Amino acid sequence: MIRSGKLFCALALLFPALCFASYDEAMGKRHLLIAYALFWALSFAAIFYFGLKGRQIKNELSKLNERLQALEQKDRAEEETKAQESRSPDVKA
């Protein structure tokens, strides 16, 4: 998947360059190339940024989940010890 993505990016950037080479005049060619390159650069930057941000948030979510589970376990353990303590005087009596 990654390899095909890289190949696609390379083709997307190379193809117009090959086309430009065959044009006769230089009328606005440079500006067209800049606009086209910016379009692709912005698109890949957006995909990368949104993907990275999503992954960071998912990592944070899994860490918080672990913390929550640890807290709940601790609470359960405390409740059990309290229950045992409350039961033990009865046994003595």
**Interface residues with another protein (CB under 8 A)?**
1, 5, 8, 11-12, 15-16, 19-20, 23, 25, 27-29, 31-32, 34-36, 38-39, 42-43, 46-47, 50-51, 53-54, 57-58, 60-61, 64-65, 67-68, 71, 75
User: Tokens at residue 91, please?
Assistant: 């046994």
Q: What is the dihedral of CA 46, 49, 51, 57, to 10 degrees?
A: -140
Tell the smallest beta-carbon distance from residue 91 to another protein (Å): 29
Residue 23 and residue 29: Cα distance in Å, rounded?
A: 9
Judged by CB, which is closer to another protein: 50, or 88?
Answer: 50
